[in-house]
């Protein structure tokens, strides 16, 4: 019996040694590296938003700081907006300078006075200030290579703007237009659009104007401004209410206008104007023990 077991053991022993050698050889091999993953492609970068330049003329009056505060609260919510604030003054006022420093958005503070002879009732207003903003914009970009993306619009400080308006104007290729509310003695004025083209004007005053539109009702591509360096708001020969037409005639035609705001059927800006304040009880001389900043220069 013992001899039988011994013979079987000796018979199986070589095979056991072979198995041990195979296992030892396999464990000494380096582990196989996992299959290489294909390189991941970087997500395509979104093109930068075209900047919006908002030129705002302003002048000293009791509601000035209130108007600018409301406007700044809107502009702070708009991506890539640069505010060009132009005072009608021979020098920068302390009030507006402090306001700009605390506004919390990119802002350029300019000043230019309106000549006294142009301050008569019935004459166009803010001409010098808008031209100063245009000159600053052209000087800023004169040494840069085209094309230069960007959009310009004239944001008077007595208007109210929907944030949707800025997204509409940002895609302006040349000159874009839209309705304006509470203007011209009507609830709104607007360009009349057919088949995606401006064909006329719904307005309460002088529909025969080449561009019967409010200053708040259009935006201009920065490239158009740079390509037309002589396009400015004119004093000589310009009639009241005609400044928009006189300016736009220099850079575009009605056929080229780009309707925004759902083919000019939505109002996204209102010519609200602050109510004239009643200061009938204001003392002639300052009687309070503290000085409260309200408006610029002598109207404190």
Q: Annotated binding residues for UDP-alpha-D-glucuronate, as ranges?
A: 57-59, 88, 125, 130, 156-158, 271-273
Query: Which among 69, 73, 43 is positioned nearest to 58, based on CA atoms?
Result: 69
Tokens encoding 17: 């040694």
Residues at the binding site for Mn(2+) are: 158
User: What letters, b where the CB count within 10 A reaches 16 and e where it falls short, cover 90-100?
Assistant: eeebebbeebb
Query: Which among 214, 105, 212 is positioned nearest to 158, based on CA atoms?
Result: 214
d(CA 259, CA 172): 10
| CA-based R_g, the chain, Å | 35
> Which candidate in 164, 244, 255, 297 is catalytic?
244
Find the Cα–Cα–Cα–Cα dihedral 219, 221, 222, 226, rounded to 10°.
Answer: -110
Residue 164 catalytic? no
Residues at the binding site are: 57-59, 88, 125, 130, 156-158, 271-273
Active site residues per annotation: 244
């Amino acid at each position: 019996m013992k001899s039988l077991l011994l013979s079987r053991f000796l018979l199986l022993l070589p095979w056991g040694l072979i198995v041990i050698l195979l296992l030892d050889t396999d464990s000494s091999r380096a582990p196989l590296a996992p299959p290489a993953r294909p390189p991941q492609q970087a997500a395509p970068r979104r093109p930068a938003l075209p900047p919006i330049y908002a030129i705002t003329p302003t002048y000293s009056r009791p509601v000035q700081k209130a108007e600018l505060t409301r406007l700044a609260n809107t502009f702070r919510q708009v991506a890539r907006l640069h505010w060009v604030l132009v005072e009608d003054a021979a020098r920068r006022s302390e009030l507006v300078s402090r306001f700009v420093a605390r506004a919390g958005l990119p802002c350029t503070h300019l000043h230019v006075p309106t000549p006294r002879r142009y301050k008569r009732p019935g004459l166009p207003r803010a001409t010098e200030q808008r031209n100063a903003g245009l000159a600053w914009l052209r000087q800023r970009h004169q040494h840069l290579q085209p094309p230069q993306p960007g959009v310009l619009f004239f944001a008077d400080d007595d208007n109210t703007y929907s944030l949707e308006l800025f997204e509409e104007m940002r895609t302006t290729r040349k000159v874009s237009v839209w309705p304006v509310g509470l203007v011209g003695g009507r609830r709104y004025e607007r360009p009349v659009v057919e088949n995606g083209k401006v064909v006329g004007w719904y307005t309460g005053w002088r529909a025969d104007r080449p561009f019967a539109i409010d200053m708040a009702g259009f935006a201009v591509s920065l490239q158009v401004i740079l390509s037309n360096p002589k396009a400015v708001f004119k004093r000589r020969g310009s009639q009241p209410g005609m400044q928009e037409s006189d300016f736009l005639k220099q850079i575009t035609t009605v056929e080229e206008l780009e309707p925004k705001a759902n083919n000019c059927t939505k109002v996204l800006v209102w010519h609200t104007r602050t109510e004239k304040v009643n200061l009938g009880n204001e003392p002639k001389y300052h009687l309070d023990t503290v000085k409260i900043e309200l408006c610029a220069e002598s109207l404190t």
